[in-house]
Structure 1
């Protein structure tokens, strides 16, 4: 009898907790995350659309001038095939890192290494994401994602000699790492590894190194995210779910075929664990560096409007809550990030 009475009580408590969580989430909108931030400058944000296009170029089977482009945005990538110095495919990397290309951008005096994002049909990409060790990998006084750090180390070992030669040959050029999603996390890790090992690249100055991480996974602890904000920039489009997902990535992909399971897990964590306790956890991972948040929709307003770009180096939490939005996954797409970033520059919404 007591068991029969206990079960409805537990169900009621669980339902109330879920209702409380859903109510709080429904009131939370994407633009609220950066409501107090300042506007980005056009000069600082200018490289973002260009970096997006270089990342997207990794998806083309052939970048030669005579080959048709299959995935190019309007106007193409603006990529000169003669400036693609090296291109690595899955066959070259043997699953240790996502495909990438090394591009010499003479027009902008830039040496760019661009990594593509997650390939949903490649088991090796999932292996990188799931190799997290619960965020316990120590690095430079903080914590990082283990699999992404290993992938970054592999890239540096593979391209170290070529990068050093290029930096010596072009002393006025910057060195830029960029990527999308999984590749963004690797690019951020690679930037940190390079900054800590500048002697490997001929004692290049820290100021010549930078990173643009498009829709990155949460991959480093808050102290590292703030410390490297001068060289690492994260770009987040409106409601993108991945930079907001503090749930360990291995839990996400175990639950990816069961969305209610993932929502249940988030509900229980948000309800039962005080937010202050979660934010004080030194192993909690965050989106890296300075944040650029592209805002193009507002609550109770239909459709998109001319985007604005807010920026800050948050120290009291970064995109802590998932936005319950039909655009949460669409905003993760590199195609939309490139389009809205370019539109922000074209309509002069930055100051």
Structure 2
């Protein structure tokens, strides 16, 4: 009606509202969300740099001859590496990971690598979800990440149980970055819920350090598992600070290259058929 009158008032109001929403979403300084939180103690922060190096070590093909070793090295002794799983081993069901027996810190560490932009299977894990799709322990979790964590636990359950029972004074730590952090968080949650799978391991022995984590569980679960799962977020890091309603935007951004990949050859075939038929 407003267009017919020559004064598109409703359209202007709608555009301004959308612009205001986009401005607040994209330029909001998310660091303010946690500015009132207390500071971590030195003891609480101590494992984080070490675990970050372990995560980086997952990217290496051979830890005895590393190609991208950071200054000071990975801090990993190759002889203590229990296993290393690649995409070929996981068949795309989960990102690559390593299991490391850290005798220096009395820790059994399972470290998962982050999102590989060149792997469609990683996108499949990340995008396998919708709001309220997967319920667990009275809350909601990311479906694809939970399935990936379940695959890892099923694959390594026996060796983890053996290590936990052989070293009763060692902690069991799950850690990862980005996509891997979501898998690690789901692993910690599932192990706590089904501790009998690992010989009735005590909850106090289970830890998770999720570095730049994707949002993968509802708030009530995050609060109840805060003694186990620790999120490590650097200032305004985009992925952890992104609100859940932006899921559709992520899907559009991630799926667009694959849409082009499948659409462009089709367009050429149609054009070629048109030329031949003409």
TM-score bucket (shorter structure): 0.7 to 0.9
1:253 alignment partner in structure 2? 251
1:142 matched to which residue of 2? 139
CA contact (8 A) 1:129 1:250 kept: no
Per-residue CA deviation, residues 190-218 of structure 1 (Å, 9 max, x unaligned), is: 10110111111111101000100001111
Q: What is the aligned length?
A: 255
Larger Rg: 2
Q: What is the distance in 2 between the residues matched to 1:135 and 1:114?
A: 28
Task: Supply the distance in 2 between the matched residues of 1:60 and 1:46 (Cα, whole angstroms).
Answer: 24
Q: Report whether the alignment pairs 1:102 with 2:138.
A: no
More moved, 70-79 vs 209-218: 70-79
Q: Does 1:194 align with 2:191?
A: yes
Q: How does 1:53-68 map to 2 (within 5 A)?
A: 53-64=53-64, 67=65
1:97-121 deviations in whole A, cap 9, x for unaligned?
0000000001100000000011011
> What's the TM-score, normalizing by structure 1?
0.68
CA-CA distance at 1:7 after TM superposition: 7.6
Out of 228-237 and 32-41, give the one that drifted further: 32-41
How many Å apart are 1:243 and its aligned residue? 1.3
The alignment's C-alpha RMSD in Å is 2.0
Q: Shift of the alpha carbon at 1:9?
A: 2.3
Structure-2 separation of matches of 1:95 and 1:5: 57
Matches within 5 A, 1:128-207: 128-207=125-204
Match of 1:279 in 2: none
**TM-score scaled to structure 2, two decimals?**
0.86
- Relative to structure 1, the CA distance from residue 87 to residue 6 in structure 2 (aligned partners, 3 Å threshold; closer, same or farther) is farther
- How much does 1:134 deviate? 2.7
- Aligned counterparts, 1:1-351, within 5 A: 3-5=3-5, 8-21=8-21, 24=24, 28-64=28-64, 67=65, 69-245=66-242, 246-247=244-245, 249=247, 251-256=249-254
| Secondary structure, counterpart of 2:232 in structure 1 | strand
- Which runs of structure 1 show a deviation greater than 6 angstroms over 4 or more consecutive aligned residues? none
In 2: Cα distance, 1:221 partner to 1:242 partner: 16
Report the Cα distance in structure 1 between the residues aligned to 2:109 and 2:57, rounded to whole angstroms. 12
Give the whole-Å Cα distance in 2 for the aligned partners of 1:3 and 1:14: 13
Cα distance in 2 between the residues matched to 1:181 and 1:7: 48
Where does the alignment leave 5 or more consecutive residues of structure 2 unmatched? 257-278
Deviation for aligned residue 1:17: 1.5
Question: Which one has the bigger helix percentage?
Answer: 2
Q: Does the C-alpha gap of structure 1 residues 27 and 220 become closer, same or farther in structure 2, counting only changes over 3 Å? A: closer
In the aligned structure 1, how far is the partner of 2:205 from the partner of 2:11?
57
SS in 2 for 1:75: coil
Q: Please give the per-residue CA displacement for 1:31-87, whole angstroms capped at 9, x wherever unaligned.
A: 3222211111010111111111111111112112xx1x2222211111111111000
Q: 1:151 to 1:23 in 2, by over 3 A?
A: closer
Given the superposition, is the C-alpha separation of residues 221 and 116 from structure 1 closer, same or farther in structure 2, using an over 3 Å criterion? Answer: same
Paired with 2:185 and 2:141, the residues of 1 have a C-alpha distance of 10
Relative contact order, higher structure (CA 8 A, sep 6+): 1
